[in-house]
C-alpha cells in the first residue's frame, strides 16, 4: 500500500513539476475554461504505465500527439506486443481528441475513468511541429493534469 502511494506521489510530483515548466498558471486556467472538462474517475490510480489504443488511422494522429505530450510530461507509456502488455491501464482517445476513456486491462477492460470536452480540434490541419500541434499537446497536458487531480487519495 505504501509502495503504491509513493509511486502515485512520485507521478504527481513529476507531472506537476514538468507541467509548471511548460505552462503558466494563467495559461492552464484559460485552457481549463475553454475545455469545460468533465472527468468521472471510478478507480484510476496510475500506478502503472498507460497504453494508448489505436483504433483507426484518423484517431492514430490524435494518439501520436497524446503520446508525445505524455512523454514530454514524464508519464510512463507502455506497449502492446503479441497481445501482451505489462501496463494496467489503456487510454482510448475518442472524437475530437479531447475526450476518452481509461480501462483496466487486468479487469476485462472495465472502464475506470471517462473524460469529455465539447472542444475539438480538427486533425487534418496539423503539421509535425506546427502551432496547432503544440496547442493540442498543451491541452493534453492540462487534461492529464486534471485527470491526476481526480485520483482519490
pTM of the shown model? 0.78
Confidence band, pLDDT 50/70/90 cuts, at residue 21: very low
Residue-wise pLDDT tens digits, 40-79: 999 999 888 899 886 655 556 788 889 999 999 999 898 8
- Domains of the chain, residue spans: 2-149
Residue-wise pLDDT tens digits, 84-95: 888 999 999 887
pLDDT confidence of residue 33: 93
By CB neighbour count within 10 A (0-12 exposed, 13-18 middle, 19+ buried), where does 96 fall? Answer: middle
Amino acid at each position: 500500500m505504501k509502495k503504491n502511494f509513493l509511486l502515485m506521489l512520485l507521478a504527481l510530483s513529476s507531472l506537476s513539476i514538468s507541467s509548471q515548466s511548460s505552462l503558466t498558471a494563467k495559461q492552464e486556467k484559460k485552457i481549463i475554461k475553454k475545455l469545460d472538462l468533465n472527468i468521472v474517475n471510478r478507480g484510476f490510480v496510475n500506478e502503472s504505465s498507460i497504453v494508448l489504443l489505436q483504433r483507426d488511422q484518423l484517431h492514430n494522429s490524435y494518439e501520436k500527439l497524446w503520446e508525445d505530450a505524455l512523454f514530454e510530461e514524464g508519464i510512463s507509456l507502455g506497449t502492446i506486443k503479441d497481445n501482451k502488455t505489462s501496463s494496467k491501464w489503456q487510454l482510448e482517445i475518442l472524437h475530437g481528441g479531447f475526450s476518452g476513456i481509461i480501462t483496466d486491462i487486468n479487469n476485462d477492460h472495465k472502464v475506470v475513468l471517462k473524460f469529455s470536452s465539447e472542444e475539438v480540434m480538427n486533425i487534418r490541419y496539423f503539421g509535425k511541429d506546427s502551432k496547432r500541434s503544440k496547442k493540442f499537446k498543451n491541452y493534453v497536458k492540462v487534461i492529464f493534469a486534471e485527470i491526476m487531480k481526480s485520483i482519490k487519495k
